[in-house]
Amino acid sequence: SSELTQDPAVSVALGQTVRITCQGDSLRSYYASWYQQKPGQAPVLVIYGKNNRPSGIPDRFSGSSSGNTASLTITGAQAEDEADYYCNSRDSSGNHLGFGTGTKVTVL
Amino acid sequence: EVQLVETGGGLIQPGGSLRLSCAASGFTVSSNYMSWVRQAPGKGLEWVSVIYSGGSTYYADSVKGRFTISRDNSKNTLYLQMNSLRAEDTAVYYCARALYSSGSAAFDIWGQGTMVTVSS
């Protein structure tokens, strides 16, 4: 399976920028996708592929990748961005998938 | 409207079996890669299984040999047959549509989830 590591928690002041990282060997071969999950709700895809946003996702969300690390950046964080964020990727076989350990984002 | 609706969760004793269903609307299950993802209470997301449009199936090591993913094209529905259930299988189970490319995989449509509790 794909082992992906994320920082457990980060905080950001309202309107400021926060970067969430995801590390794993599979990220040298595959892009990460990113999900936002609020309490009691299903996850929502926010970034996929090189840096693609599904329809309806604000452009303050962006993705990047370097080596074995993928990043999700929220530029100008809003109160409604407070949530858990998960990365996911295919593993080295390409057929199995895995999720990161998750990062809780607090907007101060 | 594009939508996934899971049913079939509940309380089951250890060693028991349960079948989850995921009814799709607005798109065709058999033309897409479909997956199950679970989330234990207070824990993170865990990928469980995927079925490709061509029919190939893959499983996480934690469920391999116990769970079976399948679909009914006539009902446009995805299933997860869960046997030999353990306490550690207790989780909310989500079905999701998976978008695959050569460089990535992403779950773009999720159901609301169905809770499975394995306890005596």
Please, what is the Cα angle at B96 between A50 and A89, to 5 degrees?
Answer: 35
pLDDT for position A2? 60
Whether the per-residue pLDDT at A1 is higher than 60: the answer is: no
Please, what is the Cα angle at A44 between A64 and A68, to 5 degrees?
Answer: 30
Q: Does the distance separating the beta carbons of A95 and B45 come in below 8 Å?
A: no
pLDDT for position A92? 83
In chain B, residues with a C-beta closer than 8 Å to the C-beta of A101 are 44
Distance of alpha carbon B88 from its chain centroid, rounded? Answer: 16
Give me chain A's average pLDDT, please.
Answer: 95
In chain A, residues with a C-beta closer than 8 Å to the C-beta of B103 are 30-31, 49-50
Confidence of residue A46 (pLDDT cuts 50, 70, 90): very high
The alpha-carbon gap from B21 to the nearest alpha carbon of chain A, in Å, equals 17
Residue A97 has its nearest CB partner, among B105, B110, B112, at B105
Q: What is the mean pLDDT of residues B98-116?
A: 94
Share of chain B above pLDDT 70, in %: 100
The alpha-carbon gap from A37 to the nearest alpha carbon of chain B, in Å, equals 10
In chain B, residues with a C-beta closer than 8 Å to the C-beta of A48 are 99, 104, 106, 108
Q: Does the distance separating the beta carbons of A102 and B107 come in below 8 Å?
A: no
Burial of A12-34, coded b for 16+ CB within 10 Å and e otherwise, reads beeeeebebbbbbebbeebbbbb
Q: Does the distance separating the beta carbons of B104 and A30 come in below 8 Å?
A: yes
Q: Does the distance separating the beta carbons of B35 and A99 come in below 8 Å?
A: no
- Coil, helix or strand for A26? helix
Structure confidence by residue, pLDDT tens digits, B13-68: 999 999 999 999 999 999 999 999 999 999 999 999 999 999 999 999 999 999 99
